[in-house]
Structure 1
Amino acid sequence: MVLLAASTWASDAMAQVSAQPAPLFERDRGMAVRDRPHPEYEATGARLGGFVLRPRAEVGTEIVDNLYAAPADRVADSLLRLAAGASLRSTWSRHALVVQADGVARRHASASREDSSDGSLDLSGRLDLTRDMDLAFGAGLSRRAEPRGAVDAPDVSAEPIVIEARELHLQGRRVSGRFRTTLRAEQRRLDFRDGETAAGEEVDQDHRDRTVSRLTGRADYAVTPAVALFVQGSADRRDYDSARGRDSAGGEALLGADFEVGALIRAQIAAGHVRQAFDDPAIRDIQGVAATARVEWFPTQLTTVTLTGDRTVEDAERLGSAASLSSRVALAVDHELLRNLILSARIGWRRQAYNDVDREDRRFTTALEASYLFNRRYGVRLTGIHEQRSSRGRSAGAGFEINRLAGALVARF
């Protein structure tokens, strides 16, 4: 779970490519604290023809009091975190292209087998076919270590499981009067590398390898310049390489509203139904209420309160269950104490109810963060995180608590 929004000095590089919507669908009267421009503290980057290159680097340290997410006999450790990345973004008046690369290395003081290196490479772009029609595309490669405490992470592995992912998406959008239609196709390939026990025995993870394909269509109707209603439907297919019984097909239907109330509130809320049907008739289909919401409140120009939530079907591989119905809610507050100092707080809650297994997991997360910029190039970030998991039911797992304290020096160019 993402615990905090990216720091102010990284927000530009992490922005996704998207076309400018028609005026009837703009929701820009309010501005979030982390989106507010601060020219005197923004890195200028390097001009390369029609592109701007923005490199960045980060060095930090972290202390964790429960490294293995254990219910008892906690093991504490500290680690060094080194990160680097760069974004190459076009400055064209029409069309857009962004290339972004990121890498993170973690080195522990005592538990060297927990060391990990993550990386990602993403390409995204947009073709402006006409004034009211655009085509967006993207591709990405990533490699990351599965965090301890993840439900499907094998406890017997002496080191974190490495997950490699490949993603593709293609999206078309057209605006005609008060109507906007969007069609998006995406595919994600997940490969889980085998682990190893402390005795050197292989921990096979091939049964988790899978490909997820999804097609989503959406139609918006602008009732007024500040309110739009929409319907959205999606169909997906989840194919496993070896655990063929877990193959499934699913669908989701949503009805929602996208609106703003002056410069005070900006929101998108939808609810409907979701269902996942498995090829193996012995596995019970999973279905229920689907929902998604994002509400931003701007009580002042210096404070942003954001409420997010969703209810979706997620894969499960380890517990005798094929999937879970996952509900998530998060509340975040960002306050600009100074032009170069942003304070943030976040509370998150997640519930997972598993299919064909009497088990329900709940996670509760709180986090505090302070981001301070010295000038255009350098800044510091301090973060404190508390995470707690509980489990109930006849197949309940172990609960745990983890506390983390991290600090980092960030450089942008």
Structure 2
Amino acid sequence: MKPSSLSLLALALASTVLTALPAATPVSAQELQPGETVLERRRPEVEQLGIRAGSFRILPRIETGLTYESNVFATENDTRDDFIWVTQPRVDVRSDFNNHALNFSASGNIGRFFDYSSENYADYRAQVDGRYDITRDSSVSGLLFSRRDHEGRSDPNFDVSLATGTVVPRFAEPVNYFTHGGEASFNQRFNRLRVRLTGGAQYTSYQDAELTNGRTESQEDRDRWSYTGTARAGYEFIQGYEAFVQGSYNWTRYRLTPDFGGVNRDSDGYEIVGGLSTDLTGLINGEIYAGYLSRTYDDPTLKDFGGLALGGRLNWSVTQLTSVTGSLSRQVRESTYARGSQIASSYNRTVAAVGVDHELLRTLLLNARVQWRQDDFNGVDRTDDVYTLGAGASYQLSRYVFVNGGYTYEKRNSNLSGFDYSDNLVYLRVGAQM
């Protein structure tokens, strides 16, 4: 551990914010738009202008800086800390047509560890999306995306060995994977009735993993196609309030069947929910829903799932300077985790979070967040509860330069011995935009 280094980085973060205060402009709040939080509100005097190219605006930006992590390998004992240099470039291209829309975005997230270079990562995301307005009340939209990501040490799917009675990582480095896909939607409004039909598909492929024994292990039996079809109908029974029902069907097909362990992980599932959506301008907006969720597997050795589906998101504008956001979700996620003779078919992830954004000064924004996450495995006796606390600040030095800093604490409690961990992250980054 490096407590002195952590203290110095925290002091640097505090000093940056305090030094900026005298030069900050007084608060003069602009009206919040529906669905908008304080962090997302327009600030014309400092907002990004971009580069005009016909009917498009190109918005480039880059953010880079230092992160300190107290538990790089997410272990219960013998923790190792390190500094990480993080760089996050991004470019958005947005149309401003009178009708229709066409947008593009690309971003990267690159981390370089000072001591533990095995944990280095280079992720990216790219997306193009558009909307065609058929009439005033109907439209079609679609998107295509590609992204590279990695399974970090704290990921519930990160493979470990329990043969010795202790948790020993099998992988020598994070596992990289790619996801490519697309989605198409049709939206129609009939006076107070709104209907939306959506279909999507995506393909996920995993790169080979380096093992701690020096060998390389193929992960191609995790490669899979996922398809989803969704229909939703909502009725606005009072202005600002809409009741809706939504049904979706999904199916997953693995490239290799069975996998290297002789298991067929193909599955089919559905979700049926009903809920309430609200949009009271300037006060509260969002939706909540509940229903039933099911997933059935082709292999009889894998455990099926059926149970409560729930979710939602609400934005509450406490004042024009403070907004509170709450979110709740539950979904079934793919897993290849195994413990002895027990093989997980999947795990149910439930997430509940509350965040607060506050505009202390026109150029100084504060935020805080608390989150609870539970990963409950199907077919394996394992349940993880993960608690996260975070706070941060963003200071706009000018229209073109900004500083972000923050602190995050994360703790996992598992019913399995050796899977608990706690981690502290402190970051300070400088950004530039046009």
Alignment correspondent of 1:92:
97
Alignment correspondent of 1:204:
218
Partner of residue 123 from structure 1, selected from 121, 125, 128:
128
Alignment correspondent of 2:284:
265
Instruction: State the TM-score, normalizing by the size of structure 2.
Output: 0.86
Q: Whole-Å Cα distance in 2 between the matches of residues 403 and 385 of structure 1? A: 6
Q: Whole-Å Cα distance in 2 between the matches of residues 197 and 284 of structure 1? A: 29
Deviates more, 1:150-159 or 1:172-181: 150-159
Q: How does 1:94-173 map to 2 (within 5 A)?
A: 94-154=99-159, 155-173=169-187
Partner of residue 348 from structure 2, selected from 325, 337, 345:
325
Q: Whole-Å Cα distance in 1 between the matches of residues 34 and 295 of structure 2? A: 39
Deviates more, 1:111-120 or 1:123-132: 111-120
- 1:290 partnered with 2:313: no
- 1:407 partnered with 2:407: no
Contact 1:267 1:293 (C-alpha < 8 Å) held by counterparts: yes
The Cα of 1:84 is off from its aligned counterpart by 1.2
Q: Secondary structure at the match of 1:39?
A: coil
Deviations 1:61-90 (A, max 9, x none): 101011111111011110111221211111
5+ long unaligned stretches in structure 2: 1-31, 160-168
Q: Given residue 266 of structure 1, which amino acid in structure 2 is its aligned partner?
A: N
Q: Whole-Å Cα distance in 2 between the matches of residues 383 and 28 of structure 1? A: 26
Partner of residue 328 from structure 2, selected from 305, 309, 318:
309
Alignment correspondent of 2:9:
none
Q: Whole-Å Cα distance in 2 between the matches of residues 305 and 117 of structure 1? A: 32
Q: Secondary structure at the match of 1:149?
A: coil
Deviations 1:124-157 (A, max 9, x none): 1111111111111100111122221101112221
Contact 1:61 1:407 (C-alpha < 8 Å) held by counterparts: yes
Alignment correspondent of 1:376:
399
Percent identity, aligned pairs only, is: 31
Q: How does 1:267-282 map to 2 (within 5 A)?
A: 267-282=286-301
The Cα of 1:116 is off from its aligned counterpart by 1.4
The Cα of 1:261 is off from its aligned counterpart by 4.7
Q: Which runs of 4+ in 1 moved over 4 A?
A: 27-31
Q: Whole-Å Cα distance in 2 between the matches of residues 184 and 356 of structure 1? A: 31
Q: Secondary structure at the match of 2:134?
A: strand
Q: Whole-Å Cα distance in 2 between the matches of residues 265 and 104 of structure 1? A: 33
Q: Given residue 244 of structure 2, which amino acid in structure 1 is its aligned partner?
A: F
Contact 2:290 2:311 (C-alpha < 8 Å) held by counterparts: yes
Partner of residue 217 from structure 1, selected from 224, 227, 231:
231
- 1:299 partnered with 2:318: yes
Contact 2:58 2:93 (C-alpha < 8 Å) held by counterparts: yes
Q: Whole-Å Cα distance in 2 between the matches of residues 85 and 107 of structure 1? A: 18
Q: Whole-Å Cα distance in 2 between the matches of residues 103 and 276 of structure 1? A: 33
Pick closer, same or farther for the CA change 1:125–1:396 going to 2, 3 Å.
farther
Instruction: State the TM-score, normalizing by the size of structure 1.
Output: 0.90
Contact 1:370 1:382 (C-alpha < 8 Å) held by counterparts: yes
Deviations 1:301-359 (A, max 9, x none): 10011110012211111132111222110010000101111100000101122112222
Partner of residue 185 from structure 1, selected from 191, 194, 199:
199
Contact 1:173 1:181 (C-alpha < 8 Å) held by counterparts: yes
Deviations 1:172-230 (A, max 9, x none): 10001111000011112111111112442013322221111100110010112211100
Q: Whole-Å Cα distance in 2 between the matches of residues 245 and 231 of structure 1? A: 33
Contact 1:30 1:298 (C-alpha < 8 Å) held by counterparts: no
Alignment correspondent of 1:226:
240
Q: Given residue 286 of structure 1, which amino acid in structure 2 is its aligned partner?
A: F
Contact 1:358 1:396 (C-alpha < 8 Å) held by counterparts: no
- 1:340 partnered with 2:363: yes
Q: Whole-Å Cα distance in 2 between the matches of residues 58 and 235 of structure 1? A: 39
5+ long unaligned stretches in structure 1: 1-26
Q: Given residue 432 of structure 2, which amino acid in structure 1 is its aligned partner?
A: A
The alignment yields a C-alpha RMSD, in angstroms, of 1.5
Whichever of the two has the greater Rg, that structure is 2
Contact 2:151 2:157 (C-alpha < 8 Å) held by counterparts: no
Q: Whole-Å Cα distance in 1 between the matches of residues 302 and 237 of structure 2? A: 43
Q: Given residue 170 of structure 2, which amino acid in structure 1 is its aligned partner?
A: V
Q: Whole-Å Cα distance in 1 between the matches of residues 64 and 210 of structure 2? A: 29
- 1:48 partnered with 2:67: no
Contact 1:157 1:203 (C-alpha < 8 Å) held by counterparts: no
Pick closer, same or farther for the CA change 1:396–1:178 going to 2, 3 Å.
farther
- 1:359 partnered with 2:382: yes
The Cα of 1:396 is off from its aligned counterpart by 5.7
Pick closer, same or farther for the CA change 1:141–1:262 going to 2, 3 Å.
closer
The Cα of 1:366 is off from its aligned counterpart by 0.7
